[in-house]
Amino acid sequence: MLDQMKERPVPEVRPVTSLVRRILQLTERADFEMADSLGLSRGDFNAMSHLMSGETMGPSELAHRLHITTSSATVLVDRLESMGHVVRLPDPGDRRRLVVEPTPSATEAAWAVVMPLIMAVDAALEGVSEDDQRVIAGYLERVVVAYEDYLSAMARVK
């Protein structure tokens, strides 16, 4: 399989498309480094990223997001809870259900690690006109749609 991939010619793409791919690769590497600096595995960091999104989420929703079984999500939440990163709380809308929320200390630590990169990316727009920023945003919105469409198509194939 690897030999077939090496033989297959790489299609010519625009330089901007190559840069998007490079950003995705660097994001993966940055996520690993952030996870490491927080003392988390990459999987635990990914779970915390979902839990910090602000959405109310129980273990089953987390399992769905991470593409793992609910029993694996329960083990993951147990581990994060024992480390002091999350708490289980009654769902305000349904007291029979539990939701998982990051602790304030975990949230503060994560933002301290993530915020420098966010601010550096934001600073890259300094000196870029509002009109150019709208063009960039429009392009990035179309990239998001391309990813969403791709993922939807992949889900239908399964």
Q: Which two tokens stand for residue 11?
A: 């299609």
- 7 falls in which pLDDT band (50, 70, 90)? confident
Of 100, 95, 60, the residue nearest 78 (C-alpha): 100
Share of the chain above pLDDT 90, in %: 85
Q: Which two tokens stand for residue 14?
A: 């625009």
Please state the pTM of the whole predicted model: 0.82
Burial 59-95 (b: 16+ CB within 10 A, else e): bebbbebeebeeeebeebbebbeeeebbbeeeeeeee
Q: How confident is the model over 100-145, as pLDDT tens digits?
A: 999 999 999 999 999 999 999 999 999 999 999 999 999 999 999 9
Q: What share of the chain is helix, strand, coil (3-state, %, to 5)?
A: 70, 10, 20
